[in-house]
């Protein structure tokens, strides 16, 4: 495969290929989130005991989950499962694969938004994984990251900042494919595919996309203000 062919395959606008990209990305983060869930359950079953094979990551405690480490694991598990596994699988993968077929459309209304939305999601996922390796560890303000707990005063370190940017990226992705779904259903239905003939799965994806378009900007605005508090010294929260 030539480098140009590889680049075109990565920046694809085919909705079925984009669906596969979301599918494999969602499965990857489902695996990581599942491993973190196993660490949480190990802590419940054997409190304070070293986790086999984790001594390299937590040398100070010889592999045992300390209270700060447990809080970080619990936080990252929730963030990964909600924003990077379940939502991309149910909307990014299922939506891009099923929606055009179900309404009789050969493509999405905005094919390039599909590609851009996936790569915004991929950048956010990379930042989430990178937050595990920074000084002071990953985010530990809970998966909701509510201020003031998620502000620099209570959760210092680069990890929480990287996670904040990652959530902003995945919010951009959700808004883009939500907008794409709404316009696709409204404008790209096949002749004869009236609103009354739409399958229930299309209605579910459509209303979910409407909610994304309406409420993700609110989440993004709050996340942006939190990010300014963390990196620019503002005091919105």
The reported pLDDT for the residue numbered 61 is 86
pTM over 0.85: yes
171 has pLDDT over 70:
yes
Q: What is the spatial distance between Cα 42 and Cα 28, in angstroms, rounded to a whole number?
A: 21
The reported pLDDT for the residue numbered 6 is 54
Q: Which residues contact 12 (CB under 8 A, 6 or more apart)?
A: 18, 21, 115
Instruction: Give the mean pLDDT of 144-158.
Output: 92
Residue by residue, what is the 3-state secondary structure of 44-113?
HHCCCCECCCCCCCCCCCCCECCHHHHHHHHHHHHHHHHHHHHHHHHHHHHHHHHHHHHHCCCCCCCHHH
1 has pLDDT over 60:
no
Task: State both tokens at 175.
Answer: 């808004």
**Which residue, among 42, 151, 129, has the nearest Cα to 80 in the 3D structure?**
129
Coil, strand or helix at 233: coil
Task: State both tokens at 164.
Answer: 């904040």
Task: Name the fold adopted by 3-229.
Answer: Cytochrome C Oxidase; Chain A (1.20.210)
Q: Which residues contact 228 (CB under 8 A, 6 or more apart)?
A: 234, 236
pLDDT tens per residue, range 90-138: 999 999 999 999 999 988 999 999 999 999 999 999 999 999 989 888 9
* Sign of the dihedral defined by the CA atoms of residues 53, 58, 60, 66, in that order: negative
Q: Which residue ranges make up each domain of the chain?
A: 3-229
pLDDT tier, 2 (very low <50, low <70, confident <90, very high otherwise): low
């Amino acid at each position: 495969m030539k480098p140009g062919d590889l680049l075109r395959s990565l920046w694809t606008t085919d909705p079925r290929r984009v669906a596969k990209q979301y599918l494999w990305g969602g499965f990857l983060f489902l695996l990581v989130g599942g491993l973190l869930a196993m660490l949480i359950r190990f802590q419940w079953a054997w409190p304070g005991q070293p986790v086999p094979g984790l001594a390299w990551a937590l040398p100070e405690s010889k592999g045992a989950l300390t209270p700060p480490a447990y809080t970080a694991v619990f936080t990252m598990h929730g963030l990964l499962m909600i924003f990077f596994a379940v939502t991309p699988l149910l909307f990014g993968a299922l939506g891009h694969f099923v929606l055009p077929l179900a309404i009789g459309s050969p493509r999405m209304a905005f094919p390039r938004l599909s590609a851009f939305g996936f790569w915004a999601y991929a950048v956010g996922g990379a930042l989430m994984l990178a937050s595990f390796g920074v000084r002071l560890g990953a985010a530990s303000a809970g998966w909701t990251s509510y201020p003031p707990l998620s502000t620099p005063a209570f959760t210092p370190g680069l990890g929480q900042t990287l996670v904040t940017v990652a959530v902003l990226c995945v919010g951009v992705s959700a808004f883009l494919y939500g907008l794409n779904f709404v316009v696709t259903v409204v404008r790209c239905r096949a002749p004869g595919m009236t609103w009354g003939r739409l399958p229930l799965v299309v209605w579910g994806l459509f209303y979910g996309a409407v909610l994304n378009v309406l409420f993700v900007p609110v989440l993004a605005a709050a996340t942006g203000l939190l990010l300014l508090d963390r990196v620019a010294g503002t005091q919105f929260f």
